[in-house]
Amino acid sequence: MRFKDFGDEPQYVKLSDGLVSVSPTRLSESKQLLALEEKNKDELRKWGEHPEKINSEHHIFTVCYDSNIVGQIILWDFEHKNGTTCSISYWIDADYQRKGITSTAVRLVANHAFSQLEVDTIEAHIQPENEPSKQLAIKLGFLFVGTKKKHLSASSGLKTHLTYALDK
């Protein structure tokens, strides 16, 4: 799990739509997120679509539903050629899946990336077997752009991913 303490820094932002809110992950949320990650570890390991190492260009958001922490979204792998492209990864606690929370949270983060981070394209790299993520990407307007071989982790080797892109 990855954490960055935003404290009371001016760039701290809370995005919300109804009962769903998204804000930069704080160190004070780490115990709850680690417990959720442990609870959902089998599912998270299965898909493994998140960066292994965090750097200063990663943007990590905590997803809440009705003030309860339910997951995380990460913007990462920023490329600055012919516009700015980044990758998005997300996970939601199994108890909160299929309730529209993930789609609302991803939409909030995508809008923030386009308007505040000057991102032109967001890519989701999804394993072919991950039907819920493919459906989510399509629902949000991501378009299928091709396949890539990507490392999920140092031990897993290359896996084929479907790439979906959402343009500003």
For the chain, 168 residues long, the average pLDDT of each consecutive 10-residue run is: 42 83 90 88 70 64 96 90 89 94 96 93 92 94 89 61 94
What pLDDT is attached to residue 45? 73
What pLDDT is attached to residue 145? 96
Instruction: Pinpoint the alpha helices (H) of 17-157.
Output: 30-39, 41-47, 101-116, 131-139
Q: Which helix (H) or strand (E) holds 79?
A: strand 68-80
| Distance separating alpha carbons of residues 21 and 45, to the nearest angstrom | 25
State the first-to-last Cα distance of the chain, in angstroms, to the nearest integer: 29
What pLDDT is attached to residue 40? 86
What pLDDT is attached to residue 71? 95
What pLDDT is attached to residue 58? 79
Q: Does domain 15-118 have CATH number 3.40.630.30?
A: yes
What pLDDT is attached to residue 44? 76
What pLDDT is attached to residue 2? 42
Those residues with Cβ within 8 angstroms of residue 16's Cβ, 6 or more apart along the chain or in another chain:
22, 108
Closest to 17 in 3D by CA, of 85, 112, 88, 151: 112
What pLDDT is attached to residue 5? 45
Structure tokens belonging to residue 118: 């000057």
| Distance separating alpha carbons of residues 66 and 77, to the nearest angstrom | 30
